[in-house]
Structure 1
């Protein structure tokens, strides 16, 4: 069932229920009014007949004949008069006797002065009537045929109104739901035009404050995230295919050359060494690309924990020195001791921060003649601040502009091996941790990387 039809049915049923309740209230109020009016009519008729009988203006036989004759044409009120001690003085029709008075009823009327009750379809009253200084018990009963006929007509009228009202409500609700959901059809058509090759398209937002505008904005945000992931995948595949081509080609060339003819053992050892070097280069490249892909994750997808930066940097230094014994790394605190260890504690991912700091320190050491990286640890306001400095060859302005460009290698690429992934990866990791990274460098004067991370 479409939303338009469901909304129409729900609104129609809800409104019809309210409409039915209102019509039922009208009917019940009408029935109550009819009943009260007829009880007053019974009382008036009872008083009139009792007064005529007790005053002696009309004898009992005449009154009974009038009652019996009128019953053939109208629903005449049946009246009975009793003395205070329950002796019957007059009765319109003793044979039919609608009320069937007994001593208990007479006593109840005498105590309460007036009662109202029903006998089948008949309404009846009993009342204490005082005449000539004496108390009499008067009862009256009749069927309100005219009133019930009016109620039946009212029921037919209300049922007709309900049926017509429900039909009008359904038609009106359908038109309103169709008009309200018309913009949704436009959104569906626009969404259907978005494909993998046209994922940059977005849904139009006419009013950002209504529900459809919020839906379009949420869908556009989803498309933006999908586009980012889609391009990241394409970029990753492109990067892998591009960067692996060169070492694979070199590896194949070395092996082909070694197999062209018989060679000495020394020559084979050199060929295998070069092949092993190419294989290691591919391993480092693959590791870098995989880490780059991890850095493209959203923050909520990565396990975060509290990490003390001084302890992490000590582990990073040990890790780097095991791989490069000729490197030198100095850790310096600009404040003698943090007043609160939380000032140098961040919420982060241990593996990714290790990769980022390792890349920054190795970059210092690779492009510095003394292979030295000085790491300064400090804090200010809500930031923990790390400075990675070297006194190496520095960078030109062009190299600074392209430093964080993926696979970019500067003019000093001959000084050290690399694939142009490390700096781009470091920046992504810092940004993933809601931090900032900046670089200050001059050619021949060294380079300083400044990383700011929010402490806990």
Structure 2
């Protein structure tokens, strides 16, 4: 079922429930009022008859009966019975219809004890009251049918039912109309969304004039399109760059093999070719590992497992591993601040990703330094843990700092230096994942300092 019909249905059900409750209340209180009013009329008529009978000496029961028969406001099938309380002898009675005997339904002793009585039996409203006078106290029983009142109630019931049904029909029509009108902006939004495809990610939803929930939805959808377009563009560039980076070593390997196979060569030449191919394969492995690390650090929808990590211990572990490499450089580690408190050197993070970040920073410093030396400074201050990697080498231009942290982007100082422009991009992704900051600066003397800053207040 469409939303507009569901809204109209719910609106109709709520309105119908309220109308039904209101109609029932009208009918209930009208019936209650009719019964009370009619009982009062019966009671007043019965008391009036008793007063005339007992206070006017010239009037006896036969005269009173003639008066009752000739009265204009005689009630339908009205019956009046007057009893002596002490003997329960019938003193006076007035009745037209003698086919129904009410005494089988009443207990006169209980009525006398309660002093009053009112009940509906077989469509008759029956009233019983005791009436004290100078003469012996009497019990008056009066009953009648309120045919006019009942007909009015039936008419009221008919009007309420017809009014209820008409109101429900009108409510359905009005509900569908207003629901359709209210959902019209969503229909327009759907039409615009249908016009957006993978080839048209540059299209955007028009901002509605009214600043309501639809406008918020349109804005959120446009922001999502911005992210999608950016992701698609990054993916496109990534595939293009990966293809380009992989083509170079593969072409080199293929060329060397083809040249070697042109003619038979001696063992030394074959060994030289294999060494060259091995170097190219190592380059491919390094490049593939870089791609995997960059992809892992870029997964926004996957949250890595964070635990408490001692960064000083992790740095020493990385130092030992990297200095076992054949072409390793020199690593010097110094501490600034309170290093006796372990908590000052501990952060909440993913040890594998932080280790990858440190390896890339050290490897990057070795590549660009003149003496293959990197100084690592660990600075702990309150809730900030700052680790700086500095080297003396080629200068990084200020305008290139934002560029070199993007995948496959390299600065002018990278000319003649092996690499693929992935290392700092991986570092930037990992430190962002840990809610930290990356700071790069390079002075005119060739001192380059790259700092990763962890905020210990943010897990």
Could you state the TM-score of these two structures normalised by the residue count of structure 1? Answer: 0.90
Question: In structure 2, do the counterparts of structure 1 residues 393 and 233 end up closer, same or farther at CA, with 3 Å as the change threshold?
Answer: closer
Q: Do structure 1's residue 232 and structure 2's residue 234 form an aligned pair?
A: yes
- Equivalenced residues, count: 453
1:193 and 1:302 mapped to 2: Cα distance?
37
Indicate the SS of the match to 2:143: strand
* Aligned counterparts of 2:58 and 2:327: Cα–Cα separation in 1: 139
Bigger Cα displacement from structure 2, 304-313 vs 414-423: 414-423
Q: Which segment drifts farther, 231-240 or 219-228?
A: 219-228
User: Residue 89 of structure 1 corresponds to which residue in structure 2?
Assistant: 91
SS in 2 for 1:434: coil
Q: Does 1:19 align with 2:56?
A: no
| Aligned partners of 2:75 and 2:146 also within 8 Å | no
Distance in 1 of aligned mates of 2:75 and 2:53: 22
Q: Which digits, 9 at most, give the CA deviation of each residue in 1:56-89, with x for residues without a partner?
A: 645545666787899xx96131011110121122
Aligned to 1:198: 200
Q: Which residue of 2 aligns with 1:177?
A: 179
Kindly state the Cα deviation for residue 444 of structure 1 after the two structures are TM-superposed.
5.1
| CA shift for structure 1 position 127 | 0.5
3-state DSSP class of the match of 1:303? coil
The change in CA–CA distance for 1:153 and 1:362 in structure 2 (over 3 A counts) is same
Aligned mates of 1:429, 1:129 — CA distance in 2: 100
| Cα contact 1:382–1:454 (8 A) shared by 2 | yes
User: How far, CA to CA, are the matches of 1:341 and 1:227 in structure 2?
Assistant: 44
Flag the 1:47–1:249 CA change in 2: closer, same or farther, 3 A.
same
Please say if residues 232 and 296 of structure 1, whose CA atoms lie closer than 8 Å, have aligned partners that are also in contact: no
Specify the SS of the correspondent of 1:390: strand
SS at match of 2:132: strand
In the alignment, the residues of structure 2 paired with residue 156 and residue 7 of structure 1 have an alpha-carbon distance, to the nearest angstrom, of: 30
| Contact 1:405–1:424, Cα closer than 8 Å, also in 2 | yes
Q: Which residue of 1 aligns with 2:103?
A: 100
SS in 1 for 2:323: helix
Other-structure match for 1:79: 80
Q: Is 1:30 the counterpart of 2:30 in the alignment? A: yes
Aligned to 1:132: 134
2:280 to 278, 282, 285: 278
The alpha carbon displacement at 1:248 in A equals 0.8
Q: By how many angstroms is 1:328 displaced?
A: 1.4
Give the equivalent residue in structure 1 for 2:308: 306
Residues 1:135 and 1:352: Cα distance change in structure 2 (over 3 Å)? same
Change (3 A) 1:128 1:97: farther
Contact 1:395 1:443 in 2 (8 A): no
Describe the shift of the 1:180–1:22 C-alpha distance in structure 2 as closer, same or farther (beyond 3 A).
same
Instruction: Answer yes or no: is 1:347 the counterpart of 2:348.
Output: yes
Q: Which residue, 240, 250, 273 being the options, matches 1:248?
A: 250
Rounded Cα–Cα distance in structure 1 between residues aligned with 2:197 and 2:51: 96
Aligned equivalents of 2:79, 2:399: Cα separation in 1? 117
CA separation of 1:232/1:410 partners in 2, compared to 1, >3 Å: closer, same or farther? closer
Q: Is the 8 A contact 1:80 1:92 kept in 2?
A: yes
Aligned to 2:448, the other structure's residue is in SS state strand
Deviates more, 1:38-47 or 1:90-99: 90-99
Mapped to 1, the partners of 2:249 and 2:210 lie a distance apart of 52
Distance of 1:296 and 1:451 partners within structure 2:
18
Contact 2:338 2:380 in 1 (8 A): no
Shift of 1:26: 0.9
Name the counterpart of 2:5.
Answer: 5
How far, CA to CA, are the matches of 1:32 and 1:150 in structure 2?
13
User: In the TM superposition, what is the alpha-carbon distance from 1:366 to its structure 2 partner?
Assistant: 2.3
> What is the Cα deviation at residue 326 of structure 1?
3.6
Aligned equivalents of 1:441, 1:95: Cα separation in 2: 121
Structure 2 Cα separation of the partners of residues 42 and 430 of structure 1:
94
Deviation at 1:142, TM superposition (A): 1.0
Bigger shift: 142-151 or 208-217? 208-217
CA contact (8 A) 2:439 2:452 kept: yes
Consecutive unaligned residues of structure 1, counting only runs of 5 or more, are: none
Separation in structure 2 between the aligned mates of residue 56 and residue 218 of structure 1, nearest angstrom: 96
Match of 1:41 in 2: 41
SS at match of 2:334: strand
CA drift at 1:196: 0.5
Aligned equivalents of 1:414 and 1:44: distance in 2? Answer: 118
CA contact (8 A) 2:304 2:350 kept: yes
Q: Give the aligned CA root-mean-square deviation in angstroms.
A: 2.7
5+ residue gaps, structure 2: none
| Structure-to-structure mapping, 1:296-335, within 5 angstroms | 296-298=298-300, 301-324=303-326, 326-335=328-337
The residue correspondences of 1:135-214 to structure 2 (distance < 5 A) are 135-206=137-208, 210-214=212-216
Q: CA deviation at 1:150?
A: 0.5
Q: Give the Å deviation of 1:355.
A: 1.5
